[in-house]
Amino acid sequence: MAPKCGLSASRPASQPRFIQHKKEAFWFYRFLSIIYDHVINPGHWTEDMRDDALEPADLNNRNMIVVDVGGGTGFTTLGIVKHVDAKNVTILDQSPHQLAKAKQKESLKECRIIEGDAEDLPFRTDYADRYVSAGSIEYWPDPQRGIKEAYRVLKLGGKACLIGPVYPTFWLSRFFADVWMLFPKEEEYIDWFEKAGFKDVQLKRIGPKWYRGVRRHGLIMGCSVTGVKPASGDSPLQVITF
């Protein structure tokens, strides 16, 4: 019997944080697109972190079909096209302002760039060899639905690589995390992947070099979670909308 689920696991099914509302996220990213590559990334999402987080995705064939969901300005896509031909990569994001920045990057000129919703992907079932999403899940109203979609669009044996923040341990950091956007716990990532039907689910912690070893102090770090699709077709998970 296929597993059933409400909107998602316990924490995300609670009242969405501010930027988990799609309308607010749209306007937030209209502003953020102006400064994202030059202000946000240098301190929180560096090239070294990106490449480290993408390593478990096994981008080992230039002819792979890859979808970068929530690809934004294309920063993560730049890491993908080091290993995969740009013509085989699709960047999807809900923000036209972010995507406009991606279109300006010379290395991404051959990528397909489209607007879309991570929870309702415009790709056919069994379409891609790899699904990548970095720094996007924290804005999804229902992460379980988004990960279910990741499963659906992958081919048999395809791999999903989802990169996102981790719920902080320090109480003050938790307060702001709960108000602003979604910061899942490590076990929630794994649970969402397994419920969606993924096998061989793995989690790798990531962070800037200065961060390593200081998680006990409650600073926010991230993780790269991967899972393999074991069977063709849609996810066995039945997501029920109330």
From the options 3.40.50.150, 3.40.50.720, 3.30.70.1170, 2.60.40.2580, give the CATH code of 22-231: 3.40.50.150
C-alpha span between 17 and 45 (Å, rounded): 22
Burial of 241 (0-12, 13-18, 19+ CB in 10 A): exposed
Q: pLDDT for 55-93, tens place per residue?
A: 999 999 999 999 999 999 999 999 999 999 999 999 999
User: What value does the mean pLDDT take over residues 187-206?
Assistant: 97
Give residue 43's pLDDT: 55
Query: What confidence tens digit (pLDDT) does each residue in 117-171 have?
Result: 999 999 999 999 999 999 899 889 899 999 999 999 999 999 999 999 887 665 5
Residue spans of the domains in the chain: they are 22-231
Residue-wise pLDDT for 2-51, tens only, equals 555 543 334 443 454 444 445 555 545 554 544 545 555 555 668 899 99
Q: CA neighbours within 13 Å on the CB side: how many for 132?
A: 30
The string of pLDDT tens digits covering residues 9-19 is 344 434 544 44
* Residue 216: pLDDT band with limits 50, 70, 90: very low
> In degrees rounded to 5, what are phi and psi of residue 61?
-150, 125
Whether 206 and 57 have beta carbons less than 8 Å apart is answered as no
Q: Which residues pair with 163 in a beta bridge?
A: 134, 224
Band of the pLDDT at 237, cuts 50, 70, 90? very high
Please check whether residue 131 is in contact with residue 161, taking contact to mean a CB–CB distance below 8 angstroms: yes
